[in-house]
């Protein structure tokens, strides 16, 4: 028993997995009693005074730690580590929140100091994102990661997933914050991404193994995304979007909000345009964010300041390619409209499109629809 009391991992697992005792009660206990060790030692009367009879009884009953021990074994088997306030790997940025997570389950490597500048950008946005948002999320994720900025997001469909993907392409570090149990891959579509982030970044969650996703968990998860970030970038959000909750939380936490503008008629850009109206920084290039972060980062290396985003050198294109390129934008263009503009035969157009696609100049995000690649 004595050993178990001194095993901080076990103690934290115990404290965070007591049935019927919620987050609010736990925080109350911590603020009034102090450390978890002290809570473990506290008398039933003391506990009853603070959180009431029923919950105190639950704490006393669970003191044999059977559940925690079982959990610890399971975590070891599944290669899941835990961090908690006071742990050396616990992200310092979270401590600035008013309700930092009491425990985080981690898959992958949670670096103590996340990167050279210790700069994180959260990227959030619509799950049902358009091509415009998806491509921009990919591009911002990639370019910011190249600059050594960590990308934090929620591993959801749409913008989140693309931001992670971009970070991985840019060889950067990325953290996925889950709104469900650490070992639950939700949504299933992101399975590949989940494993890749596990290898090259970290997946974290407040919820232990086996806990299924619940709509209520996601807003709570969002506060961790904004808590970890120095700035939050919103790409494509509808009028009532979860991403706007994240933005509100980030604002409360004193974080910078960046938003990518969209056309005022696009429903998917209503939320972001509103954010800009309310004072979020309007971002049209990753350089805007990099420059803005420079003000926040103390250790930013001035010599690295020139970040260049490779753009297409139009002079190197053949005339037909140039014409085709100028027809396209980030708005998917249907191949028939391209044919009409180029006045070329169907097979020639298809061939031209394929050649340009191979050169990485354009993409086919949807069958028969083309965009320029950014």
Partner 1 sequence: MFSKVTGGTVIGIDGALIGVEADINDGLPMLNLVGYLSSSVKEAGERVRTALKNSGFFLPSKRITINLSPADIRKYGSGFDLPIAISIVLSMGIIPNIDLTKTIIIGELGLDGRVSFVNGVLPMVYHAFENGIDTCIVPYENINEAGLIEGMKVFGVKNLTEAIEFIQGNLKLEAYKNTECSLSNTFPDYNCDFSEIKGQKILKRGMEIAASGFHNVLMTGAAGAGKSMLAKRLPTIMPMLSFEESIEVTKIYSISGMLDKKGRLITERPFRAPHHTISNHALIGGGSIPKPGEVTLSHNGILFLDELPEFNKNVLEVLRQPLEDKKIIISRVQAAYAFPADFMLVAAMNPCPCGNYPNLNKCTCTPYQIKRYQQKISGPLLDRIDINMSVKPVLYDDIFSDSVEECSKVIRERVVETRQIQNKRYREESISLNSELDGRLIKKYIKLDNEVEDYLKKCISNKDISARGISRILRLSRTIADMEKCDRIGKEHLKEALFYHNTLGVFGKAGELYEG
Instruction: Return the number of the residue (177 or 293) whose C-beta is nearest partner 1.
Output: 177
What is the CA angle 77-80-85, rounded to 5? 140
Handedness of CA 339, 344, 350, 356 (dihedral sign): negative
C-alpha neighbours within 13 Å on the C-beta side of residue 107: 23
Instruction: Return the number of the residue (291 or 354) whose C-beta is nearest partner 1.
Output: 354
Min dist. Cβ of residue 129 to partner 1 (A):
7
Are the CB atoms for 231 and 121 separated by under 8 Å? Answer: yes
Instruction: Return the number of the residue (306 or 343) whose C-beta is nearest partner 1.
Output: 343
Instruction: Return the number of the residue (94 or 339) whose C-beta is nearest partner 1.
Output: 339
Min dist. Cβ of residue 109 to partner 1 (A):
20
Judge residue 73's burial from the number of C-beta atoms within 10 Å of its C-beta, 0-12 exposed, 13-18 middle, 19 or more buried. Answer: exposed
Instruction: Lay out the sheet containing 104-108: strands in order across.
Output: 81-83, 104-108, 202-205, 174-178, 150-153, 120-125, 231-235, 256-259, 281-282
Instruction: Return the number of the residue (142 or 255) whose C-beta is nearest partner 1.
Output: 142
Instruction: Lay out the sheet containing 362-366: strands in order across.
Output: 333-334, 369-372, 362-366
Handedness of CA 284, 287, 291, 297 (dihedral sign): positive
Instruction: Return the number of the residue (76 or 340) whose C-beta is nearest partner 1.
Output: 340
Contacting residues toward partner 1, per CB under 8 A: 127-131, 155, 157-158, 160-162, 164-165, 189-190, 193, 265-268, 332, 334-337, 339-340, 346-347, 350-351, 353-354, 364-369
Are the CB atoms for 276 and 140 separated by under 8 Å? Answer: no
Instruction: Return the number of the residue (118 or 349) whose C-beta is nearest partner 1.
Output: 349
Of 126, 248, 104, give the one whose Cα is nearest residue 176: 104
> Which residue carries 């008398």 as its tokens?
43
345 phi, psi to nearest 5 deg: -75, 160
81 phi, psi to nearest 5 deg: -105, 170
Instruction: Return the number of the residue (44 or 340) whose C-beta is nearest partner 1.
Output: 340
Are the CB atoms for 154 and 225 separated by under 8 Å? Answer: yes
């Amino acid at each position: 028993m004595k050993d178990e009391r001194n095993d901080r991992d076990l103690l934290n697992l115990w404290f965070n997995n007591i049935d019927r005792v919620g987050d609010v009660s736990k925080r109350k206990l911590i603020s009034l009693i102090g450390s978890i060790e002290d809570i473990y030692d506290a008398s039933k009367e003391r506990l009853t005074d603070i959180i009431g009879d029923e919950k105190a009884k639950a704490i006393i009953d669970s003191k044999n730690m059977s559940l925690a021990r079982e959990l610890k074994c399971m975590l070891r088997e599944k290669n899941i580590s835990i961090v908690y306030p006071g742990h050396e790997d616990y992200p310092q940025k979270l401590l600035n929140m008013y309700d930092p997570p009491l425990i985080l389950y981690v898959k992958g490597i949670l670096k103590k100091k996340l990167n050279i500048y210790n700069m994180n950008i959260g990227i959030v946005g619509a799950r049902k994102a358009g091509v415009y948002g998806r491509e921009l999320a990919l591009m911002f994720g990639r370019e910011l990661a190249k600059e050594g900025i960590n990308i934090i997001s929620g591993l959801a469909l749409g913008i989140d997933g693309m931001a992670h993907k971009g970070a991985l392409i840019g060889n950067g570090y990325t953290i996925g914050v889950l709104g469900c149990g650490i070992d639950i891959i939700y949504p299933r579509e992101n399975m590949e991404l989940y494993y890749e982030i596990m290898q090259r970044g970290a997946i974290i969650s407040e919820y232990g193994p086996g806990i299924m996703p619940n709509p209520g968990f996601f807003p709570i998860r969002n506060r961790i995304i904004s808590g970890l970030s120095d700035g939050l970038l919103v790409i494509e959000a509808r009028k009532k979007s979860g991403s706007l909750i994240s933005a509100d939380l980030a604002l409360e936490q004193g974080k910078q909000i960046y938003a990518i503008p969209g056309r005022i008629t696009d429903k998917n850009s209503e939320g972001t345009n509103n954010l800009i109206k309310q004072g979020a920084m309007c971002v049209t290039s990753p350089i805007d964010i990099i420059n803005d972060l420079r003000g926040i980062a103390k250790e930013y290396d001035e010599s690295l300041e020139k970040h260049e985003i490779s753009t297409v050198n139009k002079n190197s294109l053949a005339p037909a390619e140039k014409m085709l390129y100028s027809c396209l934008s980030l708005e998917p263009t249907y191949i028939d409209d391209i044919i009409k503009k180029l006045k070329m035969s169907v097979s020639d157009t298809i061939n031209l499109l394929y050649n340009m696609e191979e050169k990485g100049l354009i993409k086919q995000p949807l069958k028969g629809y083309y965009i320029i690649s950014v």
